[in-house]
């Protein structure tokens, strides 16, 4: 099995040959710590990529660089074949890159509608007047598009939702701007079996809509269930790429730990990743 292949072999529609996003030579340092070292990374339409690596491998740093939260120190980025600058969250959002972080950034005292439109409220014509009806209808459309059936009312306060339902709300919010790439940071962390299955199904629906999806996860079983391809970071470098259909979990674990080279990385530097 070749680790350099990049054509998806997953269950979703075959990704197009032209990447949505292509990073070349991405590097990022925090003082003396090199968090990313000359990383190449591609995301294609209709492809789910599992971004894996041990703690401190650089996964979160790479996602934050793509999202424009912590821009790379060096390297080039292309989006749909043209050179772009991922210099800020606004720049990434304008391109069509949405990010759902592990903390979800939801306001528990607000209902689903208010959370979906927080900072992007729809006006009813007058200053300070919100079009609650339009926002409610759009909320129902977003949840319906993702096949979310466990939230019975979009006027339910987030504090009353389960972990899986909250994750679904955060994913629906990411779809508000009709993105082309969605970055998910540990979307199934701390979820039960049923809730995890529901979130993996939502990820599959994003793929079906032709989006590129990047999933950071420590759960290899979840990644093998939903991803088309796996990219492994180790100590800030891109260590390997695997086609899910042509690889085993043992091969991926070996790439994560360095066992494929006969020496396991036992000590990982602490860094702000």
Residue 140: other Cβ atoms inside 10 A? 16
**Cα 20 to chain centroid, rounded:** 14
> How would residue 268 be classed by pLDDT, with cut points 50, 70 and 90?
very low
> How would residue 174 be classed by pLDDT, with cut points 50, 70 and 90?
very high
Residue-wise pLDDT tens digits, 72-121:
999 999 999 999 999 999 999 999 999 999 888 999 999 999 999 998 88
**Which regions of the chain carry the CATH code 3.40.50.300?**
1-96+179-264
> How would residue 260 be classed by pLDDT, with cut points 50, 70 and 90?
low
Q: What is the mean pLDDT of residues 64-71?
A: 97
Residue-wise pLDDT tens digits, 39-59:
999 999 999 999 999 999 999
Q: What is the mean pLDDT of residues 51-72?
A: 96
Q: Is the dihedral of CA 167, 173, 178, 184 positive or negative?
A: negative
Closest by alpha carbon to 171, among 158, 162, 182, 155?
A: 182
Q: Is the pLDDT of residue 259 over 70?
A: yes
Residue 242, CA distances (Å) to 4, 23, 136, 261, 267 in order: 7, 18, 42, 16, 24
Point out the least confidently predicted range of 25-34, 87-96, 149-158, 186-195.
186-195
Q: Is the pLDDT of residue 34 over 90?
A: yes
* 62 or 5, higher pLDDT: 62
* 16 or 62, higher pLDDT: 62
Point out the least confidently predicted range of 116-120, 161-165, 265-269.
265-269
Q: What is the mean pLDDT of residues 181-198?
A: 92
Residues of the chain with pLDDT > 70, as a percent, come to: 88
If you classify domain 1-96+179-264 with CATH, what class do you get? alpha beta
Q: Is the pLDDT of residue 265 over 60?
A: no
- What crossing angle do the helices spanning 132-145 and 163-174 adopt, rounded to 10°? 110
pLDDT at 261: 53
Q: Is the pLDDT of residue 264 over 70?
A: no
């Amino acid at each position: 099995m070749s680790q350099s292949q990049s054509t998806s072999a997953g269950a979703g529609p075959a990704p197009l040959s032209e990447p949505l996003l292509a990073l070349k030579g991405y590097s990022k340092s925090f003082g003396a710590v090199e968090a990313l070292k000359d990383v190449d990374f591609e995301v294609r339409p209709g492809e789910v990529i599992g971004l894996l690596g041990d703690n401190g491998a650089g996964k979160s740093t790479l996602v934050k660089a793509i999202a424009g939260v912590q821009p790379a120190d060096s390297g080039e980025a292309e989006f749909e074949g043209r050179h772009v600058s991922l210099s800020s969250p606004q720049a990434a959002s304008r391109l069509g890159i949405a990010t759902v972080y592990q903390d979800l950034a939801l306001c528990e005292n607000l209902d689903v509608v208010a959370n979906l439109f927080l900072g992007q409220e729809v006006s009813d014509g007058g200053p300070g007047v919100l079009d609650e009806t339009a926002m409610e209808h759009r909320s129902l459309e977003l949840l319906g598009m993702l096949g979310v059936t466990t939230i019975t009312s979009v006027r339910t306060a987030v504090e009353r939702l389960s972990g899986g339902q909250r994750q679904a709300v955060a994913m629906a919010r990411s779809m508000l701007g009709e993105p082309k790439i969605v970055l998910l940071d540990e979307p199934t962390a701390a979820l039960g079996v049923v809730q995890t299955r529901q979130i993996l199904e939502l990820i599959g629906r994003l793929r079906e809509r032709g989006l590129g999806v990047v999933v950071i996860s420590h759960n290899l079983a979840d990644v093998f269930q939903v991803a088309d391809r796996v990219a492994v970071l180790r100590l800030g470098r891109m260590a390997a790429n695997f086609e899910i259909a042509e690889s085993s979990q043992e091969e991926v674990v070996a790439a994560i730990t360095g066992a494929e080279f006969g020496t396991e990385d036992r000590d990982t530097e602490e860094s702000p990743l």
